[in-house]
Chains A and B, each alone.
Chain A
Amino acid sequence: MCPLSRKEGVNTRDHLLKIVRDGVRLLDQNLLDQNRSDVVDTIIFIVLLVAAIVAYKGMSTKVVLPVFVLAFVLTFILFRHHVTSQLPLQF
């Protein structure tokens, strides 16, 4: 049992899943809002730069793999947004 969720009778796994679900929903809502003052592409390139540096330094799997997976997932989420959005894509 997670100490934070013990009172509600929710186990750790459900608690973490709820946090992840809320995070993805929040990210998705914000992605659709063009006026938010944040930068997704820039953030992804920062993560990629960090991943490249830790990878070249030959750091352990525990360090490199999470950073790599984070960059991969963020890229995928951004792609998903550009594919599924209702924006009038014209090239």
Chain B
Amino acid sequence: MSATNTAPDTAPVPEAHELIPEGDHHEVTIWNKLGYWFPHIIAVGYAGVIGAAFSIQITQGDMPCPLCMLQRMAMVLVGIAGLWMIGKTRKGHMNLNMYMRCYGLMLLSAVLGAVIAARQVELHILPGDEGYGDPVLTLHLYTWAFITFCVVIIYSGIMLIFGRTFLPVVPRGNAAKWISGILVGIFIFVIAANLVSVFMEEGFNWVLPDDPVRYELPYQLGLKD
């Protein structure tokens, strides 16, 4: 069958760059300011989760297993994607391209974390298995981790849908700058604390033992027998 619509399309074909509006020059709304604080909430939220697990580790001697540590790493990766967004916004280099890149990295990190957490859930899925560690609000920490990663996946998807609406803009005033600095500082401090903790726990072994029961480093250095 031959084509019946042979009339030429008189409308000019737009160039690719015309289809993608510039993200940096538009009216700033409350959503843009929220778009700046959301990555802070993600980073400091995960700092809180890791900090809580860290406090259980110190106070109750509940040592993190290799999979727990991997989940912490994935949480940190999610937070770092948010940190990059904050850093770029503060420098005035945020645009739609950068925004998508940061949320893409956050999404991928959350997927990795969800896979790791799901693996640990599967290890304890059989009836009668008490799970690893003590439950918090009836669920084990790795189950909570899986839920938080799912929340981040959904959140990142929504933020990518809205795009320019939530393009972050730094709020005016020194207070916002200080609060941002403190929140980011907490997150970086948690990473540094975990670095020290994992080195103490792992010592000079290649990887963590499956079921860690003590800090290896003092024994390896001969400080403890």
| Contact yes or no, A56 B188, CB < 8 A | yes
Are A75 and B198 closer than 8 Å at their CB atoms?
Answer: no
Least CB separation from B91: chain A residue:
A58
In the complex, whether B16 has a CB less than 8 A from a CB of chain A is no
Let me know if A91 and B191 touch, CB within 8 A: no
If A51-B80, A52-B187, A81-B207 touch, does A58 touch B198 (CB 8 Å cutoff)?
no
| Cβ contact within 8 Å between A68 and B105 | yes
**Whole-angstrom distance from the CB of A43 to the nearest CB of chain B?**
10
Are A52 and B210 in contact (CB-based, < 8 A)?
no
Pairwise interchain contact A52-B93, C-beta atoms closer than 8 A: no
Interface of A, helix, strand, loop or mixed by DSSP: helix
Q: How large is the interface on B (under 10, 10 to 19, 20 to 34, 35 or more residues)?
A: 35 or more
A residues near B73, Cβ cutoff 8 Å = 44-45, 48, 71, 75
User: B203 to chain A: which residues have CB within 8 Å?
Assistant: 39
* Residue A13 interfacial (CB < 8 Å): no
The yes or no answer to A9 lying at the interface (CB within 8 A) is: no
Within 8 A of B (CB), among A48-76: 48-49, 51-53, 55-59, 61, 64, 68, 71-72, 75-76
**B residues less than 8 Å from A26 (CB atoms):** none
Q: Report the minimal beta-carbon distance from A48 to chain B, rounded to whole angstroms.
A: 5
Residue from B69, B101, B191, B210 within 8 A of A88 (CB atoms): B210
Query: Which B residues are in CB contact (< 8 Å) with A53?
Result: 188
Chain A residues with CB below 8 A from B90, complex form = 58
Output the least CB separation between B112 and chain A (Å): 6
Q: Does B86 contact A (CB under 8 A)?
A: yes
Give the residue name and chain of the A residue nearest to B216 (CB). A39
Q: Mark B108-131, 1 if CB is under 8 A from A, else 0.
A: 110010011001100110000001
Tell yes or no: B195 within 8 A of A by CB: yes
B65 within 8 Å of A (CB atoms): yes
A42 adjacent to B202 (CB under 8 Å): yes
User: What is the CA–CA distance of A76 and B192 in the complex, to the nearest angstrom?
Assistant: 21
Tell me the residues in window 197-219 of chain B with beta carbons closer than 8 Å to chain A beta carbons. 198-199, 202-208, 210-211
Cβ of A75: which chain B residues have Cβ within 8 Å of it? 70, 73-74, 77, 112
Whether A17 sits at the interface, judged by CB under 8 Å, is: no
Complex Cα spacing A41 to B109, Å: 17
B207 touches A34 (CB 8 A): yes
A40 at the interface (CB under 8 A from B): yes
Cβ-based interface call for B79 (8 A): yes
13 contacts between A and B (CB under 8 A): A36-B206, A42-B198, A42-B202, A48-B76, A49-B188, A55-B81, A61-B101, A72-B109, A79-B70, A79-B115, A81-B207, A82-B67, A91-B132
